[in-house]
Amino acid sequence: MNVSDTKLALPLVALFVAFFIAPLLVLLALSLHGDVAMKTWTLANYAKFFSDSFSTSILVDTLLLGVKATLVCLVFGFPIAWLCARAGARWQSVLLFLVILPILTSVVVRTFSWIVILGRQGVLNQIAMGLGLVNEPLKLLYTETGVVMVLAQVQMPLMVLPILTVLSRMDPNLADASRVLGAGEWRTLWKVTLPLSIPGIIAGCILTYSASITAFVTQSLIGGARLIYMPLNIYQQAVGANNWPFAAAISIIFMIAVIAVVAVLSAIARRSETHARA
Partner 1 sequence: MPARSAVQWDVLSIRLVFGVLSAVALVFLIAPTLIVLITSFTASQSLRFPPSGLSLRWYAALWDADQMQRAAWNSLVIAFWTTIISVVLGTAAALAIARGRSPLLRAADLLFMSPLLLPALAFGFAALIFVNKLGFTPNIPFLVLGHVIVCVPFVLRTTLASLSQLDPALLEASESLGGSSWMTFRRVILPLISSGVGAGAFLAFMASFDNVPVSLFLADERTEVLPIHLWQQIETNLDVRTAAASGLIVIATLILMLAAEKFAGLTRQMR
Among positions 95-124, residues that touch partner 1 (CB under 8 A) are 95-102, 104-117, 121-123
How far is the C-alpha of 144 from the C-alpha of 236, rounded, in Å?
20
Residue 103 CB, shortest distance to partner 1, in Å, is 9
- The site map against partner 1 for 216-255 (x = CB under 8 A) is xx--xx--------xx--xx--x-----x--xx--xx-xx
Give CA separation, 269 vs 69, 76, 136, 215, in Å.
20, 21, 46, 24
C-beta contacts of 22-30 below 8 A and 24+ residues apart: 27/248, 27/251, 27/252, 28/248, 28/252, 30/244, 30/245, 30/248
Q: Report 54-93 residues binding partner 1 (CB under 8 A).
A: 75-77, 79-80, 82-83, 92-93
Kindly state whether residue 155 participates in binding partner 1, applying the rule CB under 8 A: no
Nearer to partner 1 among residue 139 and residue 169 (C-beta): 169
Nearer to partner 1 among residue 16 and residue 41 (C-beta): 16
Q: Which stretch binds partner 1 (CB under 8 A): 39-47, 48-56, 131-139, 207-215?
A: 207-215
CA angle 179, 182, 188 (to 5 degrees): 45
- Selected binder of partner 1 within 186, 226, 274, 278 (CB under 8 A): 186
Residue 72 CB, shortest distance to partner 1, in Å, is 9
Residue closest to 262 by CA, chosen among 230, 214, 218: 214
Q: Which stretch binds partner 1 (CB under 8 A): 47-55, 139-147, 215-223, 270-278?
A: 215-223
CA angle 200, 219, 58 (to 5 degrees): 95
